[in-house]
């Protein structure tokens, strides 16, 4: 653990045992960051919902994520080069929350993230971000509903942003540094709906300097969630904007210009026939980039079947995803999908070799709950390019990883097998371990450095909060 935060964690734990441990009034919270209010133990309960006077209360919390991993061949997919990184990733977050009933709230969370013993490589390490403000916002509630809770919430400041299945906006919790945004956000809950409006900029993390909002990328949108859909359906619809006026993107005919993208879509999922479930999500992307017209799309569908065995269960599922690529790189129309700020970990393979652009993906899953608190996840993926003349793109940063403009290298990207085992002792304590394997296909043999050796990641991770 980073030595700079050890005294802070020690101080908080000492305070937890020194303060009167009278149990506060039990409250119900639904936001992810409100794990801040879930006490890890009776001692930690002492620093939750402490009265400050004037109707205000104060809560302290924190979390630590430590992951040891051996990541081999992930950079060049070649055994013959030095590409074997054994490292320890560590992330510590300290949180403070201030509340005035249900109508006013302030949340501050600092983060310190490091990676130890990794090979020294040129450029910044995306797994490191020295002590900085990860979240910091104020929130006001208005228009109390029939349950005397605010039906309209206004949130201003730095915050995470996650919608739906995180195909476009996610918190990237597996990543050592996470992802946050500087936003103005309005959350309105009229009867049977939750409507989320937001506008702002993504935060660009700078390891040794203060993190700042992007100076060129603007985002905004609306997300509509149906809270009372029939037959236990989950239904969402959305429209998101991403624009960049300052960057001069390249067009296909030598033109240059900004980018303006509008992504419109929706998802629906539900159980049916008692043990079956399905999910379908589709979206279209329109606008311009570099003087070219943009017309891209994404479609994904999943069908699952759950076998109950007493309180145990096994879920089997198959999944197909189609994400558009550029069919003709010279026609003045760009069809490569932009996944915005997605969390690819759950959707495109856990070794993060494939990005959400120009991909035809088939997947199969087996998720088993065979002991209390335990989950075994076995996922298989088969990847192909949707358009052979377009590139295979790197996960997260979106840069081309392999490209054959002639298309003769074919569409076979490869296959992946992911095994992850998790045991949750408490909502704020879990241990996970596993192995992720990616076997490159013919595209790797015929393009780039021709490296096509198996990439793997073996890891053990502990997450704890209080």
Could you tell me the pTM of the whole model?
Answer: 0.88
CB 336 within 8 A of CB 325: yes
Asked whether the predicted pLDDT for residue 342 surpasses 60, the reply is yes
For 213-231, write each residue's pLDDT tens digit: 999 999 999 999 998 888 8
Q: What are the angstrom distances between the C-alpha of 461 and each of 69, 178, 308, 322, 373?
A: 8, 16, 28, 32, 16
Residues 6+ apart with CB under 8 A from 319: 300, 301, 302, 303, 361, 362, 363, 364, 365
> 200-212: b or e for each residue (b if 16 or more CB lie within 10 Å)?
bbbbebebeeebe
Q: What is the pLDDT of residue 20?
A: 36
Q: What is the pLDDT of residue 253?
A: 83
The residue written with tokens 């993190």 in the block is: 211
Q: What is the pLDDT of residue 396?
A: 84
For 132-145, write each residue's pLDDT tens digit: 999 999 999 887 76
The mean pLDDT value for 140-162 works out to: 85
Q: What is the pLDDT of residue 400?
A: 93
Q: Which of 74, 206, 182 is nearest to 128 (CA)?
A: 206
The residue written with tokens 């879990």 in the block is: 430
Number of H helices, E strands in the chain: 3, 23
Beta strands (DSSP E) in 310-373 are 312-323, 333-334, 359-369
For 277-312, write each residue's pLDDT tens digit: 999 999 999 999 999 999 999 999 999 999 999 899
- CA–CA distance, 281 with 283 (Å, rounded to integer): 7
- Specify the higher pLDDT residue, 150 or 331: 331
CA torsion through residues 73, 79, 82, 88, sign? positive
Give the pLDDT band of residue 8 (cuts 50, 70, 90).
very low
The class level of CATH for 6-465 reads mainly beta
CB atoms inside a 10 Å sphere around CB 54: 6
For 39-96, write each residue's pLDDT tens digit: 677 677 888 888 988 889 999 999 999 999 999 988 888 876 666 688 999 999 999 9
Asked whether the predicted pLDDT for residue 23 surpasses 80, the reply is no
293, 294, 295, 299: CA torsion to nearest 10: 180
User: What whole-number percentage of the chain has pLDDT above 70?
Assistant: 90
């Amino acid at each position: 653990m980073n030595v700079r935060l050890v005294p802070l964690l020690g101080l908080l734990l000492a305070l937890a045992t020194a303060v009167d441990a009278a149990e506060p009034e039990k409250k119900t919270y639904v936001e992810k960051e409100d794990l801040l209010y879930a006490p890890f133990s009776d001692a930690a309960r002492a620093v939750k919902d402490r009265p400050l006077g004037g109707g205000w209360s104060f809560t302290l919390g924190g979390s630590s994520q430590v992951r040891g991993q051996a990541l081999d061949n992930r950079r060049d997919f070649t055994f013959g080069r030095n590409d074997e990184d054994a490292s320890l990733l560590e992330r510590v977050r300290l949180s403070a929350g201030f509340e005035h009933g249900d109508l006013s709230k302030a949340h501050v969370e600092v983060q310190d993230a490091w990676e130890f013993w990794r090979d020294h490589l040129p450029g910044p390490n995306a797994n490191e971000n020295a002590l900085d403000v990860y979240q910091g916002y104020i929130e006001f509630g208005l228009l109390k509903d029939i349950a005397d809770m605010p039906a309209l919430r206004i949130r201003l400041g730095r915050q995470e942003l996650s919608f739906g299945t995180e195909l476009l906006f996610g918190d990237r919790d597996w990543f050592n540094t996470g992802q946050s945004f500087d936003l103005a956000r309005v959350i309105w809950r009229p009867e049977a709906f939750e409507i989320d409006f937001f506008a702002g900029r993504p935060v660009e993390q700078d390891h040794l300097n203060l993190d700042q909002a992007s100076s060129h990328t603007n985002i905004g949108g609306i997300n509509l969630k149906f809270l009372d859909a029939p037959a236990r359906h989950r239904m969402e619809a959305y429209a998101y904007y991403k624009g960049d006026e300052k960057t001069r993107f390249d067009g296909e005919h030598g033109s240059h210009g900004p980018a303006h993208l509008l992504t419109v879509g929706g998802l629906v999922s539900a159980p049916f026939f008692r043990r079956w479930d399905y999910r379908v999500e589709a979206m279209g992307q329109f606008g311009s980039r570099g003087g070219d017209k943009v017309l891209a799309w994404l479609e994904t569908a999943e069908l699952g079947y759950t076998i109950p065995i007493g309180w145990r269960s096994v879920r089997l599922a198959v999944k197909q995803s189609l994400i558009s690529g550029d069919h003709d790189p010279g026609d003045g129309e760009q069809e490569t999908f932009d996944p915005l700020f997605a969390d690819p970990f759950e959707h495109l393979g856990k070794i993060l070799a494939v990005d959400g652009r120009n991909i035809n993906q088939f997947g199969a899953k087996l998720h088993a709950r065979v002991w209390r608190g335990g989950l075994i996840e076995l996922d298989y993926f088969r990847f192909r390019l949707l358009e052979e003349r377009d590139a295979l793109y790197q996960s997260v940063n979106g840069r081309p990883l392999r490209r054959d403009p002639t298309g003769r290298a074919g569409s076979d990207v490869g296959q992946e097998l992911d095994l992850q085992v998790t045991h949750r002792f408490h909502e704020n304590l879990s241990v996970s371990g596993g192995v992720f394997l990616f076997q490159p296909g013919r595209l790797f043999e015929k393009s780039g450095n021709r490296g096509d050796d198996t990439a793997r990641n073996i890891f053990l991770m502990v997450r704890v909060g209080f």
